[in-house]
Structure 1
């Protein structure tokens, strides 16, 4: 049996969004864009790419919302940014962030969320802490690869690695561990709440 094979008993859906109405899902999308915005504002300025909690929020939304609604939520947040809302790191908004050094990372976010959500739907979350960590780390690695590739096109491969990937590897590992721990807690709390 494949590790990615989907079983009902391994499904991680703490918010039970699958059976909810369109209005409830829309509320969750708006709440997710708010969570992404707040995570973006937690920022350590660096050049050319700041350190934020965006990737933590992106992978958590994927894991909690599932791959479809997670990716849609992240796309809605990016749409808010494009139309000028100050939802990105440093309160940025508008089209400029999608043209500069952070563009690759921004483009990678819905893909990251979808990947982590897809894996979570197949049991790579909740009680399975190592798999959850691996799913989040895979999402973060994908984001670093896409963002780093874009940055390398702008400033060269060596600088792209030194400025756009290497400084973020430890953070990706730590954020992945934090996400796995939080989701384990959600699973434990959710299980107790259902028993009561």
Structure 2
């Protein structure tokens, strides 16, 4: 996989209404994440908690993936990710014991993955990276939104300089007409007052 990971526009199936996504089987996500080709687009992806939908990171901080363990690695995450305090032993593979701390969602306190704080030499590439379990996160592909509001009819037109000039000209003409009518009204009132005074 490339430095940030390659993502196609169909990597993550989303409902795309505002920021909602739909959950999918982790095997589907795994196929999409780990079965990329060089021709795929490199569109940014936002990773979100699979339970409460808070954003936890994005593909711009991509650190790699582990197909066999259904994990993705990120170099940076959002403040919505809490790092556990208690380290515990974890067997990453047969005979490979590691010390890990849990990564949890700030919103719902779901466990999303882990940080390897101590690893054997073969797993040094994972140390101090944010490792998320694919089954515990969802994602949103930026630029994949397709819903648009319909135009309100053929009479709508963009506000261009020419259109603005036309509107200003119409306003000026209306203002001149109002001033002219006010002057005429004053003349009529003046004539009426003179007629009353003579009588």
Normalised by the length of structure 2, the TM-score is 0.27
| Structure with greater Cα Rg | 2
- Compare relative contact order (CA 8 Å, sep 6+) and give the higher one, 1 or 2: 1
Normalised by the length of structure 1, the TM-score is 0.27
